[in-house]
């Protein structure tokens, strides 16, 4: 059908223009094209152009087609107009001289392959503007422009013509000039329809109905005649094993938790985003932490983890009354605090106010009126900061009664007797009442009890030595010390006095019996200025005995008898001229000896010069006192070496050896530079002196003899050295317990056993040394740390001014510059294994206080047998403390 | 030269490098710790807070890098290094970055999804690690509870990162703990301070003290780093939830308890939970531990606390801090009626014995009930005795509210200062206790003879206590409680009051004896007291003690001095207070005279 149509079409349009149409190859292709053209033709039925042809077309115009045609007509027209317009524009854009295209546009389609332009994408309009062809086909033939050769199809050169042609309608209205191919192309109505349908999104071909009624072959309605008559299989009626397996798998997964439902997943995600875990039993019944599986947590801990030390954060302070919203009146804040505190209570005040937590000036009347506390968040934040930023240190707080820290001491009553009360006060007879009242009295600077314990000698700083009877407190003797020149007066203050220890009969064969006994009479050594004065005061029983023996030697029985009687009657002060005689004999004896010694040694070798003072009325009264007859006494004097007046070093102390023949003097006061002749040992029996050390000691302080051995203790700034005199060697060097220098005035009393000694320091410490134990103090006692003392030099206590051991009893005493006297029980055991016991017994305060200077006790000593303590003070008194 | 400095010789010639042993190897600075852990400073802080790691004070700072630095124990940092949270936080940080990136690209859905998938973290292992025993956890409960109570009242602020959920959780845990305290009668002390309300509870022998803010809107200061606080809160929420679980589990209560939402909305606080605190059937309670002396004492104390408001029913006015008052009343054995007075059923209204109001002009609509101010509850609870109510009548000038903490501390040792009103309440409590004992004794034969119901007897006992207290208060010069009609049976009451008086007399005698004992040294001290000076603070010692002190080794003497110094300071403080008291009393007397 198509072929036939085509043929007719060709016949009509082109005639025999193209004879190659018979080609069978092409005809196939053209079938479809002709169909299109047919439709186009059909479309154009109303245009009247193909009327004849239509009429000539014998059949085939189906009713259906016709009806559709009718439908489309209206829209077609519109489209057409559009197309025309579009083409117009196209035409305007193109060159005006497009070749006129005649009806036989289809001819180009016939020889599509052969006649097509093959020049490619070149600007044909430009390049071939002046040519009659537009390029070449695949055979190399020129593709001639339509109408170039003056053919019928020449494009209209005139735009008006072209327009008119198009307006006229008909075929030309649907034509355009293809510049590339160089010919006019006619668009058939069929092609137009195709284009229109595509644009509308409809099926391009009218032949296909996309909405054809669906023929439901397999419907749910059971047909009477089924398509398949096969019986239903069994599997349709039994549960699927496969599915069961699948379900089981899923159920197991769900149970196991590997598979989760969507809801579960959502929940988990939400929880994970929120964080945290649901609480469970983390601590077991015994309170110990458990692991998730119920095992104790501590089991799984590594040793390293267990070692981690945790310092618990301190708890916050509990609120006090002051923080209450309605505090008691005493906890209300005052507007202005009074500033009337004294200086010394500042520390206490500060400490008291440190944790004062008063907050309100007036109570809040009711609870609803409490305002918001604006620092609550800040305070909590600060606590947080404290918790994670503050370094923590573990500090142990003990909550005990402070008394439980005190060491248990034996009862004081078990340690008696010891000096507990002040019994007697000794005062110089020549002190006037006014002087007493004004306090301008000479200070007592030295005190010593004689070996018999019946008299006590006191040295005053106005060059006077007085001797009192211990029991009656009567002044039995007083003498001024001989001052060689008045210039020496200031320097010649008494520093120290010391009785010679009790000696038996001196076994000196050179002496007659009476005289040797007289030589055993008590001798008092007085250190003053740069000299030591030895006096035999002829008081006391020993002196009386000596006098008696001298008298016996002189066969003066009456005198002796009376003397003995007197002694028995307790009148130790009555000596009579015989005692004076003893003294005079003793002085005379030493005078000759000293002269002899000086003669043998030579003046240049002698360390100290020995001499005597005899009673010399012309020189003035050497001795004064209530008893005029005592004025006839003399004394042995030893002048110690002194460099010159500028470098004057007074003799600071005298210490006797236990046997009473040797004594040592120290020139140590203010001796910082050191002088080898500062320590001199004297022998009384031979009136000789010797320098034991060639070495100089810086800061020499004091020297003491060992009570029995030939040993010497020598104190410097911070050390005490022990020398063996017989071997001439240093035995030990003891280190003082403090950094402060040792006290010169306190000296170093040695215990009667010889193994222990004391020394005091300027900072108020007393060190007890055990020579066998260590070179460091066995015990350091800090005294003089009272308030007044600690105010001076950087917290150091008051210096130790005097120390003494009791010769027989376990007692020792330490006196401080703050007018305190500390009495201790100091028991030394013969057993080497047990350490000495030191127990404080009694402290006397404000003893001998001098109001202006604040000085107190200057010297102290014990009674040789009784537990009696003598103290000499700056107020010029001497006190006796008894049990 | 330099090598000589860096090395030191130890032992025989073996050269040792400086910083290779001893203190130098035990501590490291914070920066070194950061480097070792490879974390940023905020991250490190978070870890430290959660893990409970804090700086240490090295003994010998000279051996370290400087004295002004913060040092951590090397062991602690090594401990941090193995912390699984370190890795979790890294993962979270990675997610944060991803979310940020997605947001920047405006891929909000992706950001949301990433946010959802961000790994969470749990802190239960840290609770276990830090508190290996339950007592450890209880010991450290002060700060967590205070923090929870604070955040329970703080407003949720997105700008500061305070999540409403966190606040709600904090409040919930707070109420749960409060309910436990109330149900077990373990609250011991209440103190209304300016800063907030201090509460102290005895949980298994541990004294837990925490502070809750006043019920007022809190300002959020800007100079506070809320991230730090929220990190703490994060851990505290976990800790307290586990503690609550353990406490509830011990009593066989279910956890979490179900809150009565109606009660919760009416600000009944713990009341909303208390109904749920019954032993669950399915889960038997843990077997009761063997009772030793300490737990027995704690139980006695609990019983005493439960008796304070026994038989009383309270109603609180709207203006009161209802949650707090409910907690206190429940913890001390009373009952609480929730709701407005007008809307209550008549039988419920008639059961109310006490109305707590905090307004001066409140109408006393219930004629049979006693109207008091809230402070009556606190003072009564603290001293375990019903304080005289007329002192606390609405609109009356309240007696001072004393700190039970200070009373306990100061009263424990001699020389401390106890305010007058506290002493009065203490004596009142003693008298009440004595009266109760006495009436319990006299009741035994009476109950044999009497045929009345036991309930009446019990009431009698109570009345006896009250009258005894009243008599006592008359004796000590205070007015008795309000006009109570004379009842028929006064015999036991009288007997009890007599006995109470006798008991009091003996007590006073004993006190006198004690005082004599104490004062004896001071009498002797007139001549023999020794004054010792410690850093400017003086204290007095008897002669014997001064002797013993001299023999003390230096170390223990310093300790002794420090203790004595503390005592001296305390005494001085008490002295100051007494002076101030006498001054104000004098001023008050003058003022009253002028009137």
Domain containing residue A716: CATH number: 2.130.10.10
**Nearest Cβ partner of A282 from B118, B124, B373?**
B124
Res. A511: pLDDT tops 50 = yes
Is B16 in contact with B7 (CB distance < 8 Å)? Answer: yes
| Percentage of chain A lying above the pLDDT 90 cut | 14
Q: Does some domain include residue A474?
A: yes
| Inter-CA distances, A40 with A43, A199, A264, Å | 5, 17, 68
**Shortest alpha-carbon distance between residue A423 and chain B (Å):** 18
* A346·B214 Cβ contact <8 A: no
On chain A, the residues whose CB falls within 8 A of the CB of B135 are: 287
Which residues, in sequence order, are CB contacts of B471 under 8 Å at separation 6+? B431, B480, B497, B500, B501
* A387·B54 Cβ contact <8 A: yes
Which residues, in sequence order, are CB contacts of A412 under 8 Å at separation 6+? A841, B544
* A378·B224 Cβ contact <8 A: yes
Q: What are phi and psi of B176, to 5 degrees?
A: -60, -45
Q: What are phi and psi of A186, to 5 degrees?
A: -100, 135
* B545·A403 Cβ contact <8 A: yes
pLDDT digits (tens, 9 = 90+) for B29-67: 999 999 999 999 999 999 999 999 999 888 877 777 777
**Shortest alpha-carbon distance between residue A677 and chain B (Å):** 40
Mean pLDDT over residues B119-132, rounded?
A: 89
Question: CA B147, CA A120: separation in Å to the nearest integer?
Answer: 86
Mutation for A interface: B81, B537, B538, B567, most A CBs within 10 A:
B537
Question: CA A881, CA A820: separation in Å to the nearest integer?
Answer: 13
Mean pLDDT over residues B182-205, rounded?
A: 93
- CA-nearest residue to A267 within chain B is B116
Res. A48: pLDDT tops 60 = no
Least confident span in A31-40, A584-593, B319-328: A31-40
* B572·A352 Cβ contact <8 A: yes
Both tokens assigned to B574: 């008490």
pLDDT band at B2 (very low <50, low <70, confident <90, very high): very low
> Which range among A284-288, B15-19, B210-214 has the greatest average pLDDT?
B210-214
What pLDDT, on a 0 to 100 scale, did the predictor assign at position B3? Answer: 42
Of B404, B418, B386, give the one whose Cα is nearest residue B189.
B404
Is B497 at the interface with chain A, CB within 8 A? no
| Inter-CA distances, B142 with A883, B211, B352, Å | 62, 8, 35
pLDDT band at A661 (very low <50, low <70, confident <90, very high): confident
**Nearest Cβ partner of B584 from A271, A330, A838?**
A330
**Nearest Cβ partner of A376 from B115, B150, B576?**
B150
Which residues, in sequence order, are CB contacts of A568 under 8 Å at separation 6+? none
What pLDDT, on a 0 to 100 scale, did the predictor assign at position A413? Answer: 84
**Plot region of B52 (φ>0 → left; ψ -120 to 50 → alpha; else → beta):** left
Both tokens assigned to A332: 């209300």
Kindly provide the residue ranges of all beta strands, DSSP E only, lying in A416-565, ordered along the sequence: 421-426, 444-449, 455-460, 464-469, 475-480, 494-499, 524-528, 531-535
Least confident span in A250-254, A395-399, B479-483, B531-535: B479-483
* B142·A347 Cβ contact <8 A: no
What pLDDT, on a 0 to 100 scale, did the predictor assign at position A44? Answer: 40
Res. A492: pLDDT tops 80 = no
- CA-nearest residue to B138 within chain A is A287
What pLDDT, on a 0 to 100 scale, did the predictor assign at position A78? Answer: 44
Is B208 at the interface with chain A, CB within 8 A? no
β-strands B335-337, B313-316: how paired? parallel
Of A723, A721, A746, give the one whose Cα is nearest residue A734.
A721
What pLDDT, on a 0 to 100 scale, did the predictor assign at position B532? Answer: 72
> Which range among A111-115, A608-612, A722-726, B511-515 has the greatest average pLDDT?
A722-726
* B406·A321 Cβ contact <8 A: yes
What pLDDT, on a 0 to 100 scale, did the predictor assign at position A880? Answer: 93
Q: Which of A144, A165, A200 is the last residue of a domain?
A: A200
Question: CA B234, CA B122: separation in Å to the nearest integer?
Answer: 10
* A644/A820: higher pLDDT: A820
User: Cα angle at A19 between A17 and A23, to 5 degrees?
Assistant: 140
On chain A, the residues whose CB falls within 8 A of the CB of B75 are: 304, 307-308
Under DSSP, the state recorded for A113 is H
**Shortest alpha-carbon distance between residue B40 and chain A (Å):** 16
pLDDT digits (tens, 9 = 90+) for B433-448: 888 888 776 654 443 3
Both tokens assigned to A193: 């329809």
* A368·B234 Cβ contact <8 A: no
Mutation for A interface: B214, B247, B565, most A CBs within 10 A:
B214
On chain A, the residues whose CB falls within 8 A of the CB of B73 are: 309
* A272·B115 Cβ contact <8 A: no
pLDDT band at A669 (very low <50, low <70, confident <90, very high): low
**Shortest alpha-carbon distance between residue A356 and chain B (Å):** 9
Is A491 in contact with A463 (CB distance < 8 Å)? Answer: no
Q: Does some domain include residue A532?
A: yes
Of B404, B333, B311, give the one whose Cα is nearest residue B182.
B333
Q: Does some domain include residue A448?
A: yes
pLDDT band at B377 (very low <50, low <70, confident <90, very high): very high
Res. A709: pLDDT tops 80 = yes
Of A167, A92, A99, A84, give the one whose Cα is nearest residue A129.
A99
Least confident span in A586-590, A631-635, A660-664, B207-211: A631-635
pLDDT digits (tens, 9 = 90+) for A357-366: 788 888 899 8
Of A742, A753, A740, A674, give the one whose Cα is nearest residue A709.
A753
Q: Which of A170, A200, A230 is the last residue of a domain?
A: A200
Q: Does some domain include residue A330?
A: no
Which residues, in sequence order, are CB contacts of B449 under 8 Å at separation 6+? none
Res. A325: pLDDT tops 70 = yes
On chain A, the residues whose CB falls within 8 A of the CB of B527 are: none
| Percentage of chain A lying above the pLDDT 70 cut | 67
> For residue A729, how many other CB atoms are within 10 A of its CB?
9
Q: What are phi and psi of A688, to 5 degrees?
A: -120, 155
- DSSP, residue by residue, A42-72: HHGGGGSTTHHHHHH--S---HHHHHHHHHH
Q: What are phi and psi of B279, to 5 degrees?
A: -60, 125
* A321·B131 Cβ contact <8 A: no
Mean pLDDT over residues A172-186, rounded?
A: 82
Mean pLDDT over residues A574-596, rounded?
A: 68
Q: Does some domain include residue A263?
A: no
- CA-nearest residue to A823 within chain B is B547
Q: Does some domain include residue A822?
A: yes
Question: CA A446, CA A460: separation in Å to the nearest integer?
Answer: 7
**Nearest Cβ partner of A321 from B55, B403, B547?**
B403
Which residues, in sequence order, are CB contacts of B204 under 8 Å at separation 6+? B134, B135, B138, B298
What pLDDT, on a 0 to 100 scale, did the predictor assign at position B503? Answer: 41
On chain A, the residues whose CB falls within 8 A of the CB of B374 are: 367
**Nearest Cβ partner of B375 from A285, A367, A377?**
A367
pLDDT digits (tens, 9 = 90+) for A784-806: 664 444 444 444 568 888 999 99
What pLDDT, on a 0 to 100 scale, did the predictor assign at position A605? Answer: 52
What pLDDT, on a 0 to 100 scale, did the predictor assign at position B211? Answer: 95
Res. A75: pLDDT tops 90 = no
On chain A, the residues whose CB falls within 8 A of the CB of B320 are: 367-368
* B11/A630: higher pLDDT: B11
How many domains is chain A partitioned into structurally? 2
What pLDDT, on a 0 to 100 scale, did the predictor assign at position A600? Answer: 72
With a CB-CB cutoff of 8 Å, which residues 517-536 of chain B face chain A? 530-531, 533, 535-536
Question: CA A719, CA A190: separation in Å to the nearest integer?
Answer: 139
pLDDT band at A36 (very low <50, low <70, confident <90, very high): very low
| Percentage of chain B lying above the pLDDT 90 cut | 36
pLDDT digits (tens, 9 = 90+) for B264-282: 777 777 877 887 777 665 5
What pLDDT, on a 0 to 100 scale, did the predictor assign at position A286? Answer: 84
Res. A676: pLDDT tops 50 = yes
Res. B93: pLDDT tops 80 = yes
* A368·B242 Cβ contact <8 A: no
Q: Average pLDDT of chain A?
A: 74
Question: What is the span of the domain harbouring residue A458?
Answer: 421-502+521-563+571-591+609-882
Is A262 in contact with A254 (CB distance < 8 Å)? Answer: no
Of A692, A735, A705, give the one whose Cα is nearest residue A717.
A735
* A291·B128 Cβ contact <8 A: yes
Question: CA B351, CA A672: separation in Å to the nearest integer?
Answer: 97
Least confident span in A86-100, A503-517, B304-318: A86-100
- CA-nearest residue to A304 within chain B is B75
pLDDT band at A1 (very low <50, low <70, confident <90, very high): very low
Q: Does some domain include residue A369?
A: no
* B520/A880: higher pLDDT: A880
Name the one residue in this structure whose structure tokens are 């002796």.
A560
pLDDT band at B235 (very low <50, low <70, confident <90, very high): very high
- DSSP, residue by residue, A170-230: TTGGGEEEETTTTEEEEPPHHHHHHHHHHHHTS-S-TT--TTPPP--SS-SSPPSS-S--P
Res. A593: pLDDT tops 90 = no
What pLDDT, on a 0 to 100 scale, did the predictor assign at position B564? Answer: 85
* A279·B401 Cβ contact <8 A: no
Report ipTM for this prediction. Answer: 0.82
Q: Does some domain include residue A555?
A: yes
Q: Which of A180, A200, A220 is the last residue of a domain?
A: A200
* A58/A835: higher pLDDT: A835
Least confident span in A227-231, A301-305, A495-499, A576-580: A576-580
Q: Average pLDDT of chain B?
A: 78
If you count residue pairs, one on A and one on B, with CB atoms under 8 Å apart, how many are there? 321
- CA-nearest residue to A296 within chain B is B132
What pLDDT, on a 0 to 100 scale, did the predictor assign at position A439? Answer: 56
* B569·A351 Cβ contact <8 A: yes
> Which range among A59-68, A721-730, A791-800, B340-349 has the greatest average pLDDT?
A721-730
């Amino acid at each position: 059908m198509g072929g036939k149509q085509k043929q007719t079409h060709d016949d009509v349009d082109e005639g025999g223009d193209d004879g190659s149409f018979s080609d069978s190859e092409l005809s196939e292709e053209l079938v479809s094209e002709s169909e299109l053209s047919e439709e186009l033709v059909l479309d154009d039925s109303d245009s009247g152009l193909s009327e004849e042809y239509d009429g000539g077309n014998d059949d085939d115009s189906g009713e259906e087609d016709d009806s559709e045609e009718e439908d489309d007509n209206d829209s077609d027209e519109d489209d057409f107009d559009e197309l025309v317009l579009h083409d117009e524009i196209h035409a305007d854009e193109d060159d005006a001289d497009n070749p006129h295209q005649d009806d036989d546009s289809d001819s180009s389609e016939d020889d599509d392959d052969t006649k097509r332009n093959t020049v490619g994408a070149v600007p044909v309009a430009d390049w071939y503007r002046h040519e009659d062809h537009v390029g070449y086909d695949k055979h190399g033939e020129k593709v001639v422009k339509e109408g170039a050769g003056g053919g019928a199809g020449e494009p209209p050169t005139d735009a008006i013509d072209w327009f008119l042609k198009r307006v006229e309608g008909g075929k030309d209205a649907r034509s355009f000039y293809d510049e590339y191919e160089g010919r006019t192309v006619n668009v058939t109505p069929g092609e137009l329809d195709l284009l229109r349908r595509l644009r509308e999104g409809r099926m391009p071909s009218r032949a296909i109905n996309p909405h054809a009624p669906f023929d439901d072959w397999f419907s749910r309605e059971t047909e009477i005649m089924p398509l398949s008559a096969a019986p239903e299989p069994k599997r349709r009626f039994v549960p699927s094993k496969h599915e069961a397996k699948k379900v089981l798998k899923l159920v197991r997964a769900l149970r196991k938790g590997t598979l989760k439902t969507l809801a579960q997943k959502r929940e988990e995600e939400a929880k994970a985003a929120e964080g945290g875990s649901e609480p469970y039993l983390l601590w077991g019944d015994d309170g110990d932490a458990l692991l998730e599986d119920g095992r104790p947590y501590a089991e799984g801990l590594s040793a390293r983890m267990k070692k981690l030390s945790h310092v618990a954060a301190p708890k916050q302070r509990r609120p006090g009354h002051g923080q209450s919203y309605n505090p008691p009146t005493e906890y209300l804040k005052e507007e202005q605090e009074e500033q009337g505190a004294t200086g010394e209570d500042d520390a206490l005040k500060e400490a008291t106010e440190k944790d004062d937590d008063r907050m309100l000036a007036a109570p809040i009347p009711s609870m609803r009126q409490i305002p918001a506390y604006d620092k609550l968040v800040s305070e909590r934040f600060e606590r947080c900061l404290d918790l994670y930023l503050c370094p923590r240190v573990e500090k142990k707080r003990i909550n005990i009664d402070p008394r439980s820290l005190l060491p248990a001491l034996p009862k004081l009553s078990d340690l008696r007797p010891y000096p507990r009360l002040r019994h007697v006060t000794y005062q110089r007879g020549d002190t006037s009442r006014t002087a007493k009242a004004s306090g301008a009295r000479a200070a007592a600077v030295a005190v010593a009890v004689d070996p018999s314990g019946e008299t006590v000698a006191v040295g005053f700083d106005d060059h006077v030595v007085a001797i009192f009877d211990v029991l009656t407190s009567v002044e039995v003797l007083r003498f001024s010390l001989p001052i060689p020149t008045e210039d020496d007066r200031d320097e010649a203050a008494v520093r120290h006095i010391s009785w010679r220890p009790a000696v038996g009969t001196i076994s000196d064969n050179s002496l007659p019996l009476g005289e040797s006994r007289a030589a055993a009479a008590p001798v008092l050594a007085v250190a003053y200025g740069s000299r030591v004065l030895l006096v035999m005061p002829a008081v006391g029983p020993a002196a009386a005995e000596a006098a008696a023996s001298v008298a016996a030697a002189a066969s003066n029985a009456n005198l002796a008898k009376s003397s003995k009687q007197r002694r028995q009657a307790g009148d130790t002060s009555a000596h009579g001229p015989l005692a004076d005689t003893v003294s005079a004999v003793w002085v005379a004896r030493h005078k000759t000896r000293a002269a002899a010694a000086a003669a043998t040694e030579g003046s240049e070798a002698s360390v100290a010069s020995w001499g005597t003072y005899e009673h010399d009325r012309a020189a003035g009264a050497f001795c004064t006192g209530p008893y005029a007859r005592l004025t006839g006494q003399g004394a042995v004097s030893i002048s110690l070496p002194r460099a010159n007046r500028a470098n004057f070093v007074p003799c600071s102390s005298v210490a006797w050896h236990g046997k009473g023949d040797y004594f040592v003097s120290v020139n140590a006061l203010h001796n910082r530079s050191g002088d080898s002749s500062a320590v001199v040992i004297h022998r009384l029996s031979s009136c000789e002196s010797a320098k034991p050390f060639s070495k100089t000691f810086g800061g020499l302080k004091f020297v003491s003899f060992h009570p029995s051995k030939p040993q010497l203790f020598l104190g410097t700034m911070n050390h005490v050295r022990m020398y063996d005199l017989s071997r001439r060697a240093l035995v030990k060097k003891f280190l003082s317990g403090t950094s402060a220098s040792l006290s010169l005035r306190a000296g170093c009393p040695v215990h009667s056993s010889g193994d222990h000694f004391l020394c005091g320091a300027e900072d108020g410490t007393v060190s007890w040394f055990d020579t066998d134990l260590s070179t460091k103090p066995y015990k350091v006692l800090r005294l003089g740390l009272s308030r007044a003392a600690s105010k001076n030099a950087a917290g150091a206590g008051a210096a130790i001014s005097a120390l003494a051991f009791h010769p027989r009893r376990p007692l020792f005493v330490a006196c401080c510059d703050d007018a305190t006297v500390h009495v201790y029980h100091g028991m030394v055991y013969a057993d080497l294994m047990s350490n000495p016991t030191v127990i404080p017994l009694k402290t006397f305060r404000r003893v001998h206080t001098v109001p202006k200077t604040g000085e107190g006790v200057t010297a102290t000593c014990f009674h040789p047998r009784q537990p009696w303590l003598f103290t000499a003070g700056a107020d010029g008194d001497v006190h006796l403390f008894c049990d | 030269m330099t090598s000589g400095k860096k090395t030191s010789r130890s032992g025989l010639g073996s050269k040792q490098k400086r910083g290779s042993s001893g203190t130098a190897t035990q501590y490291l600075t914070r920066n070194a710790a950061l480097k070792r852990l490879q974390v940023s400073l905020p991250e490190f802080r978070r870890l430290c807070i959660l893990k409970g790691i804090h700086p240490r004070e090295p003994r010998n700072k000279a051996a370290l890098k400087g004295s002004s630095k913060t040092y951590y124990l090397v062991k602690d940092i090594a401990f941090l290094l193995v912390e699984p949270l370190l890795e979790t936080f890294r993962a979270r940080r990675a997610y944060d970055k991803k979310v940020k990136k997605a947001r920047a690209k405006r891929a909000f859905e992706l950001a949301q999804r990433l946010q959802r998938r961000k790994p969470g973290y749990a802190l239960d292992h840290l609770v276990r690690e830090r508190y290996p025993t339950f007592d450890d956890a209880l010991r450290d409960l002060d700060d967590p509870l205070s923090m929870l109570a604070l955040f329970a009242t703080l407003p949720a602020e997105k700008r500061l990162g305070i999540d409403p959920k966190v606040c709600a959780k904090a409040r919930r845990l707070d109420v749960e703990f409060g309910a436990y305290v109330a149900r077990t009668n373990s609250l011991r002390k209440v103190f209304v301070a300016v800063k907030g309300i201090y509460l102290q509870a005895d949980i298994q022998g541990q004294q837990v003290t925490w502070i809750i803010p006043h019920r007022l809107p809190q300002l959020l200061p800007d100079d506070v780093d809320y991230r730090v606080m929220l990190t703490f809160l994060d851990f505290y929420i976990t800790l307290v939830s586990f503690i609550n679980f353990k406490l509830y589990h011990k009593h066989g209560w279910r956890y979490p308890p179900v809150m009565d939402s109606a009660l919760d909305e009416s600000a009944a606080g713990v009341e909303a939970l208390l109904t749920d605190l019954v032993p669950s059937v399915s889960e038997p309670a843990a077997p009761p531990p063997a009772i030793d002396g300490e737990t027995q004492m704690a139980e006695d104390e609990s019983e005493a606390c439960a008796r304070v408001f026994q038989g009383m029913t309270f109603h609180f006015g709207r203006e009161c801090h209802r949650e707090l008052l409910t907690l206190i009343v429940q913890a001390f054995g009373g009952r609480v009626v929730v709701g407005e007075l007008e809307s209550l059923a008549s039988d419920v209204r008639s059961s109310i014995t006490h109305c707590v109001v905090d307004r001066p002009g409140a109408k006393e609509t219930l004629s049979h009930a006693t109207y008091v101010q809230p402070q009556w509850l606190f003072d009564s609870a603290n001293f375990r005795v019903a304080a005289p109510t007329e002192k606390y009548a609405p609109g009356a000038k309240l007696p001072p509210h004393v700190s039970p903490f200070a009373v306990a501390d100061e009263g424990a040792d001699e020389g401390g200062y106890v305010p007058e009103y506290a002493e009065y309440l203490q004596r009142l409590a003693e008298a009440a206790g004595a009266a109760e004992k006495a009436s319990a004794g006299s009741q035994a034969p009476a109950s044999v003879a009497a045929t009345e119901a036991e309930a009446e007897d019990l009431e009698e006992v109570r009345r006896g206590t009250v009258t005894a207290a009243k008599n006592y208060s008359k004796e000590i010069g205070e007015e008795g409680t309000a006009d109570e009609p004379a009842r028929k049976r006064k015999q036991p009451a009288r007997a009890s009051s007599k006995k109470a008086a006798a008991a009091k007399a003996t007590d006073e005698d004993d006190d006198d004896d004690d005082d004599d004992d104490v004062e004896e040294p001071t009498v002797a001290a007139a001549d023999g007291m020794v004054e010792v000076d410690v850093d400017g603070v003086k204290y007095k010692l008897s002669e014997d003690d001064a002797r013993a002190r001299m023999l003390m080794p230096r170390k223990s003497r310093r300790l002794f001095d420090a203790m004595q110094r503390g005592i001296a300071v305390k005494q001085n403080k008490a002295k100051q207070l007494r002076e101030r008291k006498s001054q104000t009393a004098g001023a008050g007397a003058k003022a009253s005279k002028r009137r």
